[in-house]
Amino acid sequence: MSPVARTRPLHAALLLLLLPPLAGCSTAGYYAQAVSGHLELMAAREPLPAVIADPATPPAVRERLELAQAAREFAVTELGLPDNGSYTSYVQLDRPAVVYNVYAAPEFSLEPKRWCFPVAGCVVYRGYFARADAERTAARLAAEGWDTWVGGASAYSTLGRFEDPVLSTMLYRDDARLAGLLFHELAHQQLYVEDDSAFNEAFATAVEEEGVRRWLLARGGEEALAAWQASSRRAEAFQFLLARTRGELQALYASGAAEPELRAGKAAAFARLRREYAALKASWDGWDRYDRWFDAPLNNARLIPSATYRGLVPAFSLLLTELDGDLQAFYAEAARIGGLPPAERDAEMRRLLATAGQT
């Protein structure tokens, strides 16, 4: 799925079996559901070749699993991504998402609330295996005055510390998006910088996009490549609308206006976003992938995933171009930048964004 339609990672906050007991009922309860949910998932894994060979496997599922298997092989052999036990098994789930991520931001700020975990560091979401648990957390935060949003995730990464399976929630997408999801999740295993969600997600998204382009070219699917490129252009246009809305809101929140004016300006900005999307969609001949994005109430939290996944992608895309498409050199340079102190890393990414014409 696109960065807007898909929210993904719970990452490695599940390695809590290795930790001493934690104080606080709510904290302990959160970690308990994370550990139990993850272990239940791991216990349900079946070897991918066995599921594909099983006559009881529905043909449609078999076809998607064969494609996932081929995409994983391409990721390893052609993209140089990690070769381990990840995505060599399958889990059939009884729900539409594997985890549900809670996002929160203040009423008059786009700065996301961050949650910090062992191993994964600080991230801009908190993941739950049960939607009801995520909704309860979102409701509590909303009662405290936060803007909140709960998004279902089709996959999450444990950064290679566990052998992540292919999930049934990953299969309901077209070929390019399924392959891209696997490339994205394996990219997190290639490089992960603690406490920097924007860097991590943009790096993985850049690898995903380049991987899909190469995957489609290698498979000789000119029609599929053209369709994917058209979809990508639409995604860029939609992301532009979201970025413009973020810019408008940032200026509003920094204006020093009184709360009633801020509230009215915020409502006007989101109303304008709806109108602009309707006009944009009218040029797409009925293509409506982003309609569901507007199903949830529009607020500051709703804008967090798009900023996290997409904000630095132009910088990484430029970096890959500067390195003549050499993915191994790209991984090494991204790792070098990721290893810089945060202020130096931010300065380097801002330089790349400026060079790419994104500031």
pLDDT in tens, 45-91: 999 999 999 999 999 999 999 999 999 999 999 999 999 999 999 99
Report the pLDDT value the prediction gives residue 16, as an integer from 0 to 100: 38
Share of the chain above pLDDT 70, in %: 92
17-26, 27-36, 41-50, 174-183: least confident range: 17-26
Query: For 298-317, what is each residue's pLDDT tens digit?
Result: 999 999 988 888 889 999 99
pLDDT at residue number 359: 59
Q: Is the pLDDT of residue 24 over 70?
A: no
Q: 237-291 pLDDT, tens per residue? A: 999 999 999 999 999 999 999 999 999 999 999 999 999 999 999 999 888 989 9
pLDDT at 201 over 60: yes
Rounded average pLDDT over 322-331: 97
**C-alpha torsion 274→276→277→280, nearest 10:** 160
Return the pLDDT at 216.
94
pLDDT, residue 23, reads: 40
Q: pLDDT tens for residues 100-152?
A: 999 999 999 999 999 987 766 788 899 999 999 999 999 999 999 999 999 99
pLDDT for the residue numbered 120:
65
Task: Give the full edge-to-edge strand order of the sheet including 99-106.
Answer: 126-128, 99-106, 146-153
Tell me the C-alpha to C-alpha distance, in Å, between residue 130 and each of 14, 105, 118.
15, 22, 21
Provide the percentage of residues in the chain whose pLDDT is more than 90. Answer: 75
Q: Is the pLDDT of residue 1 over 60?
A: no
Residue 17 has pLDDT above 70, yes or no: no
pTM of the model: 0.85
Q: What is the pLDDT of residue 119?
A: 63
> pLDDT averaged over the chain?
89
pLDDT at 185: 94
Dist CA 103 CA 308 (whole Å): 11
- Which residue reads 């494609």 in tokens? 67
Angle at 144 (CA atoms; ends 302, 150), nearest 5 degrees = 30
pLDDT category of residue 318 using cuts at 50, 70 and 90: very high
**Ordered strands of the 166-167 beta sheet:** 46-47, 89-91, 166-167
